[in-house]
Structure 1
Amino acid sequence: MEPKKRTLFIAFSSQKGGVGKSTFTTILASSLHYVFGYNVAVFDCDYPQHSISQMRQRDLKAVMQNEILKKIAYKQFTTINKKAYPIIQCRSDEALKEAERFLETSPVHLDVLFFDLPGTVNTSGLLNTLAGMHHIFSPITADRVVIESTLAFTDVLTNVLIKNGHTSIETIRLFWNQVDAREKSPLYEFYEKIIAGLGLTLMETSITDSKRFRKESETIAKTVFRSTLLPGDKRLIKECRLDLFIEEFLKTVKL
């Protein structure tokens, strides 16, 4: 009998809000669950807004009111023969215990649990929960405040938690988000040298800026980009290099 494959705990995390943590959590969860055949669940720990849980409610409403999306959803779920991935609301300080309880009672093996966490390092239990992750991905933008706060945050994880051995963290990866393809900002080269000097790792794939990140399932839409019920449209995903990012993500976490 083959040993049961472990479940990966993964978080898109940063000390700054508005850099895309919930968006990337949703897009990756939907891609892995609906396209690549993995079983995933999302723990929405971002109290009090619980943005991914609220997104699921909006997605359900949009699909029910949009005949095109309804047909896409019907075809998808009859083809893959599995339900939408579960989204569980919990506090960040209870996330690891809730995850273990969920895994014990799940009727199917879960390949990945994604954790959508608060953006404030002072949140109760946040560091302990992050220490329980296997892989952490931190989006950064070419903004001095965003970069410096994220580097300080990531440096604590790398040089305090990991080096002290009080963690399950195997990899931490920074990646550029909202990159203007027309702009060659000297900030990128400058901060990439700092990132390397701190011993941190930057992903090869950067995500180009796109208004798609602010678009969800709509009652009049013919395609989707960010949804908890459907994967992003392939053309839209490719436009901002997310297809390449997902490939690198899968290699990094060894799925």
Structure 2
Amino acid sequence: MVIIIGNQKGGAGKSTLTLLLANYLTQTKKCKVTVLDMDYQQSISQKFEKAKILENAEPYEVLAFGLSDFPMMADTIRDNPKDIVLIDLPGKLDDDGLIGVFKAAQVAICPFAYDEFSFESTIPFALVLKKINPEVHLLFVPNRIKANVKYEIKADVNEQLNQLGHVTEAIADRIDFQRTNTFQTPFNVQALLLPVFDRLFKDFIQPYL
């Protein structure tokens, strides 16, 4: 199956969320995972190469790919439906190469924050995705949420996003997220992620496996 992680808004945390989800699926659920790093910064690929120097066997493969490379992967993905492919998307919507990726996805994860700029980037991403692939399960993940901040637009944002998909529980902002690599997730970070990832796995991933 294909899970895409994307949003037009830079700094939403999609690359980190992709990495954390890959660690969760391989280490906690023992799934076979491949990560396609299509983000322009390719931060996941860089972390993967650095971690290989220090560790032994990699728990999953990370491949640096451009959107134009996806068609040659599509047949392989369709022939291996039990394998999970996570795709970290570039932060834009103006590339026709996204159409094939959107159509291939069973699940889309869209991290966002409760601010005006993030919301205005999230809505176009969701609308375009649903127009291209009406059957995709779209999950909005409130990410890097600060515990001591009152988000006045939270209720209105959740109401609008729930009309397009499903808003998950929030993931709190912690400095420890920066210590995550392709081999491990810090223990205290795992505790923050489990409510979101366990629900994601039970409701949207396990039925495909």
Q: TM-score, normalised by structure 1?
A: 0.73
Q: CA deviation at 1:50?
A: 1.9
Is 1:188 the equivalent of 2:154?
A: yes
Q: 1:132 to 1:103 in 2, by over 3 A?
A: closer
Kindly indicate whether the alpha-carbon contact (under 8 Å) linking 2:139 and 2:168 is maintained by their aligned counterparts in 1: no
State the match for 1:235 in structure 2: 188
1:1-255 paired onto structure 2 within 5 Å: 8-47=1-40, 49-61=41-53, 64=54, 83-101=58-76, 111-158=83-130, 160-163=131-134, 169-196=135-162, 199-213=163-177, 215-216=178-179, 226-230=180-184, 232-238=185-191, 241-255=192-206
Deviations 1:100-147 (A, max 9, x none): 34776x8xx852011111011113401331221110010110121111
Q: 1:246 to 1:128 in 2, by over 3 A?
A: same
Amino acid at match of 1:54: Q
Q: CA deviation at 1:99?
A: 4.5
Q: CA deviation at 1:212?
A: 2.0
CA–CA distance in structure 1, aligned partners of residues 103 and 150 of structure 2: 35
CA–CA distance in structure 2, aligned partners of residues 38 and 254 of structure 1: 10
Runs (4+) of structure 1 moved beyond 6 Å? none
Amino acid at match of 1:234: F
* Counterpart secondary structure, 1:136: strand
Which moves more between the two structures, 11-20 or 119-128?
A: 119-128
* Counterpart secondary structure, 1:154: helix
CA–CA distance in structure 2, aligned partners of residues 171 and 102 of structure 1: 18
Q: 1:103 to 1:204 in 2, by over 3 A?
A: closer
Q: CA deviation at 1:202?
A: 2.9
Kindly indicate whether the alpha-carbon contact (under 8 Å) linking 1:179 and 1:206 is maintained by their aligned counterparts in 2: yes
Deviations 1:52-94 (A, max 9, x none): 1111122234xx3xxxxx6xxx7xx6xxxxx521112221132
CA–CA distance in structure 2, aligned partners of residues 235 and 207 of structure 1: 12
CA–CA distance in structure 1, aligned partners of residues 136 and 77 of structure 2: 23
Amino acid at match of 2:97: G
Kindly indicate whether the alpha-carbon contact (under 8 Å) linking 1:46 and 1:92 is maintained by their aligned counterparts in 2: no
Kindly indicate whether the alpha-carbon contact (under 8 Å) linking 1:121 and 1:127 is maintained by their aligned counterparts in 2: no
Amino acid at match of 2:127: D
Stretches of structure 2 lacking an aligned partner (at least 5 in a row): none
Kindly indicate whether the alpha-carbon contact (under 8 Å) linking 1:41 and 1:110 is maintained by their aligned counterparts in 2: no
Amino acid at match of 1:171: H
Q: CA deviation at 1:233?
A: 2.7
Q: CA deviation at 1:176?
A: 0.8
* Counterpart secondary structure, 1:186: coil
